[in-house]
Amino acid sequence: MGKAPCIVYTRAGTARRSGRGLSMDISGSRYFITPEDIPPLLFHRSVEVVDPAGEREGTAWLSPILGPKKQELTALIQQKLYVVGYRDLNRILAGKAQIAPVKEYHPH
């Protein structure tokens, strides 16, 4: 009998609203999804993740988890995967929450 894959998440930082965009503080660095990239992101397109200077640091997209109706924001930044829950993302963008946890994905 084979082992089932185990997925582990560790807390990596926080996400917050930045104007009408999203700011993520991860391991002492700050990354952004710009306001003009939020609408394409919400329509299931991948968007760029940039640093404070506007340089591309990675890519973000909405990923289905446990079925097509449940999703999370997934960001690939410097070869690491980070996630923000979809409910948390919506609460931040709607101004109903100040911050949400960003977790790093570790497949084991």
Query: Looking at the domain assignment, is residue 2 inside a domain?
Result: no
What is the C-alpha to C-alpha distance for residues 108 and 71, in angstroms, rounded to an integer?
Answer: 21
What is the C-alpha to C-alpha distance for residues 44 and 29, in angstroms, rounded to an integer?
Answer: 26
pLDDT tens string 39-97 = 999 888 999 999 999 999 999 999 865 455 567 899 999 999 999 998 999 999 999 99
Range of the domain at 56: 7-107
Query: Looking at the domain assignment, is residue 1 inside a domain?
Result: no
Tell me the torsion sign for CA atoms 40, 42, 89, 68.
Answer: negative
DSSP letter (8 states) at residue 6:
-
Q: What is the count of structural domains for the chain?
A: 1
pTM: 0.86
Do 103 and 14 contact (CB within 8 A), yes or no? no
Query: Looking at the domain assignment, is residue 37 inside a domain?
Result: yes
